[in-house]
Amino acid sequence: MASGKTVTLLLGGARSGKSRYAQVIASAYSRVTFIATAQRSDGEMRARIARHQQERPAAWKTVEVTTELDQAILEQSAQADLLLVDCLTLYVSNLMGHGEGAHSEIQPCFDRLSESLKRAACSVVLVSNEVGSGIVPMHPVAREYRDLLGSLNQKIAVIADRVVLMVAGLPLVVKDAAAGKRTKRNGA
């Protein structure tokens, strides 16, 4: 990862305020590229996408990606101060829906994504659902999805400088590498 650049992972349940908080973070940057992973698959999703577009500043560039998220990060990071990826939840769903349904086929995609975050030329904020706190799904595909997303969230959290869990619109900092460095310098 380029010097002075950070990776932030925002986790939370549905409607927890993740996207709104990500936009607050991004508003501090001049050149923002929003990387959207949602597909316009039905009327409800098209309406949701339109609403999200209206909520974003017009100056932000939007790039739509379904499965090649690693490439988009590398290509777009040279032209931005911050990339906002919303969201990993749909990215994993897209991978499963595009024939890469088995763990063994999807893990290399996660590895490439992780590597692209390390090599990004700008800061990156990633939004993802925390799916490990719910009940065990009854359907095998739903369990596979939950396991894959949990695996990706863990992989990104390891390399992230900051991890924030959103609960009822409130950010709870789970990891902050900068705070840890300040504490070590102060001898605490």
Domain residue limits, the chain: 7-185
> What are the CA-CA distances from residue 98 to residues 7, 42, 93, 113, 166 (Å)?
27, 17, 9, 17, 30
Q: Which residues of 117-138 are buried (b: 16+ CB within 10 A; e: fewer)?
A: beebbbbbbbbbbbbeeeeeee
pLDDT of residue 77: 98
Architecture of domain 7-185 in CATH?
A: 3-Layer(aba) Sandwich (3.40)
Question: Taking the model in full, what pTM does it have?
Answer: 0.90
Looking at residue 181, what is its pLDDT? 62
Given 52, 98, 103, 139, which residue is catalytic?
52
Supply the pLDDT for residue 2.
45
Q: What residue ranges of the chain have pLDDT lower than 70?
A: 1-3, 99-103, 181-188
pLDDT at res. 111: 97
The answer to whether residue 139 is catalytic is no
The pLDDT assigned to 187 comes to 47
What is the predicted pLDDT for the residue at 47?
A: 80
